């Protein structure tokens, strides 16, 4: 069973994506009376016409996630126009810590996927509040940033999105690191197609797109839902997918004691392997800016 804690716009969209794939039965939980139940009914009606036979139920009782194999945490306040992800730190820390304690209580063997922003810091909160081994707490961000990088590249180059192999690491925020050196178009290195200035323009556009979406529709919903679904599927089906996500480092990249986006292998046990890349000076500087931002966020957390 797959649990979703938080049935707001992102949680509901992610649940719809996962349910539509027929991954497993779902339970949505939200403290707003009736919200999770209503979303579960709406999703179930769609699945019925599509002929997908998984159960989707809703509840305001955390005990309903008992025995879940995967729990997705989207509970918290969403970013509004003009806000950075870090602006949400104080308010969301308490919400996420409270929710994570319930997850640890009722689904002690689950893999927790953190979505709430600022995601890398909230992933730290989830791990501390659940007491889960670090490998069973992973943050959604890298796949979402990757989808945005691919979109920008596709528009710039006029190529099919299916031709793009790319990678984005680092903080899920203003310090994300789209890796041009590890990106190719149909096997052709991006660095042989675009010059340094063009690559930097593409990276800056990638960092801006979330702000553009929020300013126009109020929240990013569809792309996060897809990213969550990809990660849930990797865990629930033990696919050993290699993808970028936030995990706790133990010396890799010269970092310990916090989680940040890196390439990793994701399966039924959570994070099964971390891949350490050889970064050049510019990439490392940007990566470490993200590390410091996350450290500052962790230092600013209220007592959990």
- Residue 3 pairs in a beta bridge with 27, 71
- Site of tokens 């995967």: 70
- State residue 85's pLDDT score: 64
Q: For residue 72, is pLDDT > 80?
A: yes
Catalytic option among 45, 151, 172, 240: 172
Confidence of residue 290 (pLDDT cuts 50, 70, 90): very high
| Cα 92 to the center of its chain, rounded Å | 16
- Residue 250 pairs in a beta bridge with 256
Q: Confirm whether 172 is a catalytic residue.
A: yes
Q: What is d(CA 259, CA 257) in angstroms, rounded to the nearest whole number? A: 7
Going along the chain from its start, the domains and CATH numbers come out as 2-139 (3.40.50.720)
pLDDT digits (tens, 9 = 90+) for 193-229: 999 999 999 999 999 988 888 889 888 899 999 999 9
Contact 179, 169 (CB under 8 A): yes
- State residue 82's pLDDT score: 66
pLDDT digits (tens, 9 = 90+) for 78-131: 767 766 667 788 889 999 999 999 999 999 999 999 999 999 999 999 999 999
| Cα 304 to the center of its chain, rounded Å | 22
Confidence of residue 51 (pLDDT cuts 50, 70, 90): very high
- State residue 56's pLDDT score: 98
Q: For residue 173, is pLDDT > 90?
A: no
pLDDT digits (tens, 9 = 90+) for 225-242: 999 999 999 999 999 999
């Amino acid at each position: 069973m797959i649990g979703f804690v938080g049935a707001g716009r992102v949680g509901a969209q992610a649940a719809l994506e996962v349910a539509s794939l027929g991954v497993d039965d779902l339970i949505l939980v939200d403290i707003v009376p009736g919200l999770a139940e209503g979303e579960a009914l709406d999703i179930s009606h769609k699945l019925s016409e599509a002929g997908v036979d998984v159960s989707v139920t809703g509840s305001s009782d955390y005990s309903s996630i008992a025995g879940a194999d995967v729990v997705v945490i989207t509970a918290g306040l969403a970013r509004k126009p003009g806000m950075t992800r870090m602006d949400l730190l104080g308010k969301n820390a308490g919400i996420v810590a409270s929710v994570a304690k319930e997850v640890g209580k009722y689904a002690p063997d689950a893999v927790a996927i953190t979505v709430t922003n600022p995601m890398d810091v909230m992933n730290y909160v989830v791990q501390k509040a659940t007491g889960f081994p670090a490998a069973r707490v992973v943050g959604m961000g890298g796949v979402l940033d990757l989808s945005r990088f691919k979109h920008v590249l596709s528009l710039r180059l006029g190529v099919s999105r299916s031709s793009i192999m790319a990678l984005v690491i680092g903080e899920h925020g203003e310090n994300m690191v789209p890796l041009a050196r590890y990106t190719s178009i149909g096997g052709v290195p991006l660095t042989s197609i675009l010059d340094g200035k063009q690559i930097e323009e593409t990276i800056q556009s990638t960092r801006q797109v979330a702000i553009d979406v929020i300013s126009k529709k109020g929240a990013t919903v569809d792309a996060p839902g897809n990213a969550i679904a990809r990660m849930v599927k990797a865990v629930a089906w033990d696919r050993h997918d290699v993808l970028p996500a936030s995990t706790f480092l133990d010396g890799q990249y010269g970092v310990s004691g916090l989680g940040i986006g890196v390439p990793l292998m994701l399966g039924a046990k959570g994070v099964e392997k971390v891949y350490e890349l050889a970064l050049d000076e510019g990439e490392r500087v940007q990566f470490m800016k993200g590390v410091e931002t996350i450290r500052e966020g962790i230092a600013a957390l209220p007592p959990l």
